[in-house]
Structure 1
Amino acid sequence: MPSVPARPTLRRRRDLLADGWTDRGLARAVADGRLLKPRPNAYLLPDTPVDVVDACRLGGRLACVSELVRLGVFVLDADGLHLHLHDNREGVATPTRRTRRHWDRLRRPPAPWSTSVEAFDAVLQAVRCQQPRAALATLDSALHLRVLRPDDLGELFEALPRRHRVLRRLIDARAESGPESLMRLMLRSLRASFDVQVEIVGVGRVDFVVDGWLIVECDSRGFHATWEEQRRDRRRDQAAAALGYATYRPIAEDIMWHPGEVRAALEGLLRGRSARAR
């Protein structure tokens, strides 16, 4: 299980002066890139992610889907910068990119000089901010990565509008990627019988087995790009075929952005098998 990235922290001028820095030394460090100064009297290390720097420059903390991306949690659309504005902001710069500001009361207030909201609040904001299928994929991912704990769900759904509560019974933390969560929703909508994360002797673990005969694997560029990886996949498919399985490998891009085409392919496969059986 990958570790959660540490949250960068703003260093206040007065704290740095107490540590032995001088104003002249701070100015030199900013000039030569050893420190960043996103707003007055506040400093960051130069390897701080750009989104964090921009949120601080605008007087807020990284929030919602932007913070979840930093934590490695799946979000369907991470375009733009999401930040939460708080009371101790020091001057607000002009945004240079599309920005979504959040003003909601945080359920778990972060430390005063933290650069991000707590993960619980980021998930809460992201569920409100996204369409239901994307929100479910985010919840699956946050639980799978242990960014969100199962015992957080009660508080989370109490804080959400009632219309979101249907999502709770659809959550499955076994999903190892956002496209797997979206595929699971698609299979449910087709009323197909399926199992997830199935171990098949001689083949290995597969994402889905549908109606006992169709393997569905949700392929992403990250794990299936090289010829070696593709050769491995084809040999797995060959071993599955020898056991009587057919395999369908929609690419993650289509699952996320062209779901109608993927659904049509699934319907065709399932309908064709049913017709042959009759």
Structure 2
Amino acid sequence: MGQRAVRQALASGLLAQPWRGVVVPAADSLKLATRAEAALLLAGQPAVLSGATSLALHGISAAETADIHLTVPYERRVRSKPGLIVHQRDYQQYDVLEIDGLPTFSVDLALADFLCRGDKRTAFASVEEAMRGLPPDHLQKLRDNVRDRIADRSSRKGIHRALSMLALADGRAESPPESMLKLIVTEAGLPVPETQYVINDIDGRLLYVLDMAWPARRVALEYDGFAAHEERQAADAERDRRMLGRGWITVRAVAADLRDPSRVLRELREAFRACSG
């Protein structure tokens, strides 16, 4: 295009410049693949997309973030910038695969890295999402591969927490917030809940599927996404009354409780005491 045409396109908004030295079509500037490709162009080779970016490219929505993460070998010196987080580690070519032409870490390696050093709740939600819907043998294979990747890390930092979260994950939560809520309650010292617990009537017909439950205590924990809960608030209240008639106490959580779970934890502990009394 030439420098003058590029400057004009930037001034008119046809092009955007996520980082100095690389420009992208403005219409695509918020797309993950566009930002990832721009980061690779800026960094030069060798470089590979990693961490949350790698997982998002693998289709794991819990890991989606505006920042682009990439990894370069130790001998390379590439600086992080606003919106671009550069990591250093040695890796082998078999650790890398291409998604839409973009070099990215395999899902098991990306999960292992994220579990060790990423945001804890997001990392747990990501591994649960990666497991969701897998046949039991495939789920176990993924768990084994991630565990092996964790064990092979040169740095021991974060390994204990990563293995703990991997052991807790079962892939049954239906959304990232449900996974985060499960992590919150277990880290608070409450027993590990059963996820997607089925309630049948006396004839064995399905009545309800609970997000999380402690059947021995007859306590349930339900996560209400804002839009869905607004539409079915009356029906949920009626269901809670019916469950109470069966001896169950239902605690409900919303998005705000992920930021401050004190109310939910307090109500759960009160429910545990009431059901054990």
User: Which TM-score band applies after superposition, normalised by the shorter structure?
Assistant: 0.5 to 0.7
Tell me the TM-score normalized by structure 2. 0.66
TM-superposition CA deviations, 1:193-251 (whole Å, max 9, x none): 74321222364211122234222102222532x3x222332232233233332211011
Q: 1:219 aligns with which of 199, 216, 224?
A: 224
* Structure 2 Cα separation of the partners of residues 94 and 166 of structure 1: 30
Q: Aligned residue for 1:16? A: none
- Contact residue 252 and residue 264 of structure 2 kept, 8 A: no
Q: How many corresponding residue pairs?
A: 239
Which has the higher mean CA deviation after the structures are superposed, 192-201 or 150-159?
A: 192-201
Counterpart CA distance in 1 for 2:187 and 2:24 is 49
In 1, the alpha carbon distance for the partners of 2:16 and 2:133 equals 30
CA distance in 2, matches of 1:138, 1:190: 22
Give the Cα–Cα distance (whole angstroms) in 1 for the partners of residues 25 and 110 of structure 2. Answer: 21
Give deviations 1:99-150, integer Å, cap 9, x for gaps.
421223445213494165443343232112235555333211221166xx52
Q: 2:95 aligns with which of 95, 103, 108?
A: 108
Secondary structure of 1:217's counterpart equals strand
Instruction: Indicate how the Cα distance of structure 1 residues 187 and 109 shifts in structure 2: closer, same or farther if over 3 A, else same.
Output: closer
For 1:1-150, list aligned pairs within 5 A.
31=9, 46-47=27-28, 49-55=30-36, 56-57=38-39, 58-59=42-43, 62-69=49-56, 71-75=59-63, 81-86=67-72, 95-97=81-83, 99-106=84-91, 108-111=95-98, 113-114=101-102, 116-130=104-118, 132=120, 134-144=122-132, 150=139
Residues 1:47 and 1:222: Cα distance change in structure 2 (over 3 Å): farther
Report if aligned partners of 1:203, 1:236 keep a CA contact under 8 Å in 2.
no
SS of residue paired to 1:160: helix
Q: In the alignment, is the contact (CA less than 8 A) between 1:35 and 1:43 conserved in 2? A: yes
Q: Structure 2 vs 1, CA of residues 82 and 209 (structure 1 numbering), >3 Å: closer, same or farther?
A: same
Correspondence for 1:234: 237
Q: Which has the higher strand share?
A: 2
Cα RMSD (Å) of the superposition? 4.0
Give TM-score, length-normalised by structure 1. Answer: 0.66
Matched residues in 1 for 2:180 and 2:22: separation? 44
Q: Does 1:152 align with 2:142?
A: yes
Higher RCO (C-alpha 8 Å, min separation 6): 1
Contact 1:51 1:81 in 2 (8 A): no
1:264 aligns with 2:245: no
| 8 Å CA contact 1:36, 1:43 repeated in 2 | yes
Aligned twin of 1:176: 174
1:232-274, CA deviations, whole angstroms, 9 ceiling, x for partnerless residues? Answer: 32232233233332211011331x3223432222112212333
1:191 Cα deviation (Å)?
Answer: 4.8
Change (3 A) 1:204 1:139: same
Residues 94, 245 of structure 1: alpha-carbon distance in 2 compared, 3 angstrom cutoff: closer
Contact 1:51–1:62 (Cα < 8 Å) also in 2:
no
Q: Distance in 1 between matches of 2:17 and 2:247?
A: 62
Unaligned stretches of 5+ residues in structure 2: 152-158, 201-205
Task: Tell me which amino acid in the other structure corresponds to 1:272.
Answer: A
Aligned twin of 1:204: 208
* 1:148-172 residue CA offsets vs partner (Å, 9 max, x unmatched): x522332322221553333333221
